[in-house]
Amino acid sequence: MSDSIGKNHPRRDAEDKLRGRTMFTVDTDTGLMLHAALRRSEVPSGRIVSMNLEPARQMPGVRAVVSAPDAPGMYGVMVADHPLFAVDEIRYYGEPLAAVAAETIEQAQAAAEAIEVIIEERPPLLTMAEALAHGAPELHPDWRDYELLAGEGARKGNVSWESTVVRGDVDGAFARDDVTIVETLFRSGRQNQTPLEPRAVIAHVERDRVVITTSTQFPWSVKSGVARMLGIQPADVRVLVPAVGGGFGMKWEMSLEPFAALLARDSGQPVKLVNSRQEEMQTALCRENAEIRIRSAVTASGEIVGREGFVLLDCGAYSGEQPFLASMVTHTLFGSYKLGSARLVSQAIYTNTPPNGAFRACCGTYCVAALERHTDEICAQLDFDRYEFRRQNVLGDGDLGPTGDVFEGDVLGPMLEEMVALRERSTRHQPANDRLLYGTSTTVGTWFILVGPSAATVNLNPDGTATLVTAGVEIGSGSTMQAIPQIVADVLQIPISDVTVREADTDAGGYDGGVGGGRTTVSLGAAGSRAAAEVKRKMLEVAADMLEAAPGDLKLEDGNVVVDGIPSLSVTIKEVAAHAQSNGGPISGSGSFTGTGNVGMVGCAAGHYIGALDLPVFAVHECDVAVDRDTGHVTVLDYRVVQDVGRAINPRAILGQVQGGVIQGLGYALHEEVTFDHLGKSHQQGFETYRVPLAGDAVPVQLEVYEGAPSMGPLGVKGAGEVPILNVAAAVSCAVADAIGRTVSEIPLTPPRVLGLILERDGADVELPHVATVWRDAVVADAQQLLAVAPR
Amino acid sequence: MTRHASTVTPDLHVPQTVQEAVELLADGAFEVLAGGTWVMRGGIRGEGYADGYVLISKLPDLTRLGWSDQSLVIGAAVTHAQLATFLTGHTRLTGLATAAAKSANPAIRRAATVGGNLSTVDFPAADLVPALLALDAQVSILDVDGERVLDLVDYLASRTTLSPRTLLTHVTVTVPPGFTAQERLTMRSAGDYPVGIVSTNVRIGADGLVEDATIAVGSVEPVARLWPSLASALIGHPLDSAFAMRMAHDLKGEFNARDGIEAAGWYRLQVLPELVARTFRTLEREADLR
Amino acid sequence: MTTELTVNGNLRRVHNPPMTPLARVLREDLHLTGTKLACGEGFCGSCTVFVDGDAKASCLIALGTVAGSSVRTVESMASPRGPLAPVQQAMKDMDAVQCGMCFPGVLASLTALLDEVSHPDRQQVEGALVGNICRCTGYERIVQAVLGIDRTANPADQTGAGA
Ligand SMILES: Cc1cc2nc3c(=O)[nH]c(=O)nc-3n(C[C@H](O)[C@H](O)[C@H](O)COP(=O)(O)OP(=O)(O)OC[C@H]3O[C@@H](n4cnc5c(N)ncnc54)[C@H](O)[C@@H]3O)c2cc1C
Domain match, C70 and C107 both: no
Cross-strand bridge partners of residue A391: none
Q: Pocket residues for ligand 1 (CB within 6 Å)?
A: B 31-39, 56, 76, 103-104, 108, 111-113, 115-117, 119-120, 123, 125-127, 163, 167-168, 193; C 41-43
Q: Beta strand B52-55 with B11-13: parallel, antiparallel or unpaired?
A: parallel
Q: Beta strands of A573-655 (E only): which ranges?
A: 588-593, 605-606, 616-628, 634-646
Which among A684, A691, A755 has CB closest to B192? A691
Considering only CA atoms, which of A79, A726, A717 is closest in space to residue A444? A726
Give residue A248's pLDDT band: very low, low, confident or very high (50, 70, 90).
Answer: very high
Report the separation in Å between the CA atom of A73 and the middle of ligand 1, taken as the mean of its atom positions.
48
The Cα–Cα gap between A430 and A115 comes to 61
Helix (H, G, I), strand (E, B) or coil at B213: strand
Q: Which amino acid is at B241?
A: S
Q: What is the reported pTM?
A: 0.97
Residue of B7, B38, B98, B110 for testing the chain C interface, max C β-carbons within 10 Å? B110
Give residue B44's pLDDT band: very low, low, confident or very high (50, 70, 90).
Answer: confident
| Closest C-alpha to ligand 1, atom 8 | B104
Question: Domain A32-122: which topology?
Answer: Aldehyde Oxidoreductase; domain 3 (3.90.1170)
The CB-based long-range contact list for A553-560 (8 Å cut-off, 24+ gap) reads: A556/A492, A556/A493, A557/A1, A557/A493, A558/A1, A558/A2, A558/A493, A559/A464, A559/A493, A559/A494, A559/A495
| Closest C-alpha to ligand 1, atom 5 | B104
The answer to whether B106 contacts C128, with C-beta atoms less than 8 Å apart, is yes
Digit-coded pLDDT (tens) for A322-377: 999 999 999 999 999 999 999 999 999 999 999 999 999 999 999 999 999 999 99
Cross-strand bridge partners of residue A344: A165, A309
Q: For residue C26, what is the domain's CATH number?
A: 3.10.20.30
Which among A13, A653, A695 has CB closest to C139? A695
Inform me whether the C-beta atom of residue B11 falls under 8 Å from chain C C-beta atoms.
yes
Considering only CA atoms, which of B192, B170, B201 is closest in space to residue B94? B201
Q: Count Cβ atoms below 10 Å from residue A728 Cβ, excluding itself.
A: 33
Which among A23, A195, A692 has CB closest to C33? A23
Q: Which residues in chain C are closer than 8 Å to B5, comparing Cβ atoms?
A: none
Helix (H, G, I), strand (E, B) or coil at A349: strand
Residue A529 has pLDDT above 90, yes or no: yes
The answer to whether C99 contacts A197, with C-beta atoms less than 8 Å apart, is yes
Please tell me which residue of chain A has the smallest CA distance to B278. A630
Query: To test ligand 1's pocket by mutation, which of B119, B187, B195 has the most ligand atoms within 8 angstroms of CB?
Result: B119
Give residue C163's pLDDT band: very low, low, confident or very high (50, 70, 90).
Answer: very low
Inform me whether the C-beta atom of residue C74 falls under 8 Å from chain A C-beta atoms.
yes
Task: Please compute the mean of the pLDDT values over residues B177-186 and round it to a whole number.
Answer: 96
pLDDT for A423: 97
Report the separation in Å between the CA atom of B199 and the middle of ligand 1, taken as the mean of its atom positions.
20
Task: Please compute the mean of the pLDDT values over residues A475-494 and round it to a whole number.
Answer: 93
pLDDT for B290: 64
Report the separation in Å between the CA atom of B94 and the middle of ligand 1, taken as the mean of its atom positions.
22
Q: Are C99 and C136 in contact (CB under 8 A)?
A: yes
pLDDT for B163: 65
Q: Is A86 left (phi over 0), alpha (psi -120 to 50) or beta?
A: beta
Q: Are B210 and B237 in contact (CB under 8 A)?
A: yes
The domain segmentation of chain A, as residue ranges, is: 32-122, 290-450+599-758
Residue C161 has pLDDT above 70, yes or no: no
Tally of domains within chain C = 2
Q: Supply the range of the domain harboring residue C45.
A: 3-75
Surface of C (106-125) touching A: CB under 8 A: 107, 125
pLDDT for A599: 79
Q: C81 lies in a domain?
A: no
Task: Please compute the mean of the pLDDT values over residues A664-681 and round it to a whole number.
Answer: 98
Please tell me which residue of chain C has the smallest CA distance to A276. C39
pLDDT for B8: 59
Query: A43 or A2, which is more confident?
Result: A43
Helix (H, G, I), strand (E, B) or coil at A588: strand
Domain match, C7 and C69 both: yes
Helix (H, G, I), strand (E, B) or coil at A20: coil
Give residue A433's pLDDT band: very low, low, confident or very high (50, 70, 90).
Answer: confident
Q: What is the helix (H) or strand (E) element at residue B216, kind and residue range?
A: strand B210-218
In whole numbers, what is the pLDDT of chain A averaged over residues?
96
Query: B286 or A301, which is more confident?
Result: A301
Q: Beta strand A554-557 with A560-563: parallel, antiparallel or unpaired?
A: antiparallel
Surface of C (83-122) touching B: CB under 8 A: 109, 112-113
Give residue B162's pLDDT band: very low, low, confident or very high (50, 70, 90).
Answer: confident
Task: Please compute the mean of the pLDDT values over residues B3-22 and round it to a whole number.
Answer: 82
The answer to whether A17 contacts C41, with C-beta atoms less than 8 Å apart, is no
The answer to whether C55 contacts B106, with C-beta atoms less than 8 Å apart, is yes
pLDDT for B160: 81
| Closest C-alpha to ligand 1, atom 49 | B120
The Cα–Cα gap between A132 and A312 comes to 10
Considering only CA atoms, which of A7, A17, A6 is closest in space to residue A476? A17
Q: Which residues in chain B are closer than 8 Å to A276, comparing Cβ atoms?
A: 44
Q: Which residues in chain B are closer than 8 Å to A757, comparing Cβ atoms?
A: none
Helix (H, G, I), strand (E, B) or coil at A719: coil
Digit-coded pLDDT (tens) for C4-45: 999 999 999 999 999 999 999 999 999 999 999 999 999 999
Please tell me which residue of chain B has the smallest CA distance to C105. B107
The Cα–Cα gap between A315 and A474 comes to 28
Give residue B69's pLDDT band: very low, low, confident or very high (50, 70, 90).
Answer: confident
Q: Go through chain B and tell me how many residues it has.
A: 290
The Cα–Cα gap between B107 and B81 comes to 9
Among C75, C97, C125, the domain boundary falls at C75
Nearest-neighbour CA in chain A from B190: distance (Å):
4
Residue of B9, B197, B270, B274 for testing the chain A interface, max A β-carbons within 10 Å? B270
Give residue B288's pLDDT band: very low, low, confident or very high (50, 70, 90).
Answer: confident
Among C35, C56, C75, the domain boundary falls at C75
The Cα–Cα gap between A350 and A327 comes to 16
The answer to whether A686 contacts C39, with C-beta atoms less than 8 Å apart, is yes
Digit-coded pLDDT (tens) for A66-120: 999 999 999 999 999 999 999 999 999 999 999 999 999 999 999 999 999 999 9
Surface of C (30-49) touching A: CB under 8 A: 31-36, 38-41, 43-44, 46
Query: To test ligand 1's pocket by mutation, which of C58, C59, C60, C129 has the most ligand atoms within 8 angstroms of CB?
Result: C60
- CA A337-A340-A345 angle, to 5 degrees, is 80
Cross-strand bridge partners of residue A441: A623
pLDDT for C52: 98
Q: C103 lies in a domain?
A: yes
Q: Which residues in chain C are closer than 8 Å to A694, comparing Cβ atoms?
A: 126, 129-130, 132-133, 139
| Closest C-alpha to ligand 1, atom 11 | B126
Give residue A598's pLDDT band: very low, low, confident or very high (50, 70, 90).
Answer: confident
Question: Domain A290-450+599-758: which topology?
Answer: Aldehyde Oxidoreductase; domain 4 (3.30.365)
Q: Go through chain C and tell me how many residues it has.
A: 163
The Cα–Cα gap between A501 and A484 comes to 9
Q: For residue C106, what is the domain's CATH number?
A: 1.10.150.120
Q: Beta strand B52-55 with B30-33: parallel, antiparallel or unpaired?
A: parallel
pLDDT for A340: 97
pLDDT for C160: 30
Q: C122 lies in a domain?
A: yes
Structural Rg of chain B based on CA atoms: 19
Report the separation in Å between the CA atom of B114 and the middle of ligand 1, taken as the mean of its atom positions.
8
Q: Beta strand B146-151 with B52-55: parallel, antiparallel or unpaired?
A: unpaired
Among C75, C104, C134, the domain boundary falls at C75
The answer to whether A656 contacts C28, with C-beta atoms less than 8 Å apart, is no
Q: C161 lies in a domain?
A: no
Residue A29 has pLDDT above 80, yes or no: yes
| Closest C-alpha to ligand 1, atom 23 | B116
Surface of B (102-121) touching C: CB under 8 A: 104-108, 110-111
Residue A61 — φ and ψ, nearest 5°? 80, -5
Domain match, C110 and C140 both: yes
Q: Are C47 and C58 in contact (CB under 8 A)?
A: yes
Residue C162 has pLDDT above 50, yes or no: no
Which chains have 3+ CB pairs within 8 A of C?
A, B
| Closest C-alpha to ligand 1, atom 36 | B116
Digit-coded pLDDT (tens) for B112-126: 999 999 999 999 999
The answer to whether B263 contacts A689, with C-beta atoms less than 8 Å apart, is no
Q: Is A565 exposed, middle or buried (0-12, 13-18, 19+ CB in 10 A)?
A: exposed
